[in-house]
Amino acid sequence: MTGSVHAAIGAAIGKRLRSKPLALMIGIGSHAVGDMLPHHDMGAAEAPLVFATLAHIALRHGWNSPAFWAALGAVLPDFEHIPAELKKDPRRSEPMPEKYFPTHNAKLPHLKWPWHINSGIAFNIVLFLGGLYLADTLGKPKRG
């Protein structure tokens, strides 16, 4: 699933926690669960959406909140894709770097989206908005 969906689900989980280290660890664990669901990835458009989602969560809940740390934990495993993407350049001859996260190296199943691409995009949108709603991240920031 897209990184922004991982972040939204992580924020929904972190909203219910008090410990930032626990939120970070559970966020990382939620990434594996999210990857095991059948989903459609969005490609290059994902990076700006991830950073915008993380910024929105931080502005809504604070950079030092469990919601933000769980959201960050939920997207951290995808950072290991960056070196592999950079090495896809045909001008490079180095072998592809090894991936360590269990759903990225096939130690846990990473199920593919079997239906039409539009339904995959709709599924991502529903999960994204649902996660943000459960994290109480939609709407205007609350004033203290």
pLDDT tens digits, the chain, 144 residues: what are they?
889 999 999 999 999 999 999 999 999 999 999 988 877 676 667 889 999 999 999 999 999 999 999 999 999 999 888 777 767 666 666 666 688 888 888 888 877 778 888 888 888 899 999 999 999 998 766 654
The predicted model scores a pTM of 0.85
CA 10/CA 77 separation, integer angstroms: 12
Q: Give strand pairing partners of 112.
A: 39
Residue 39 per-residue DSSP state: B
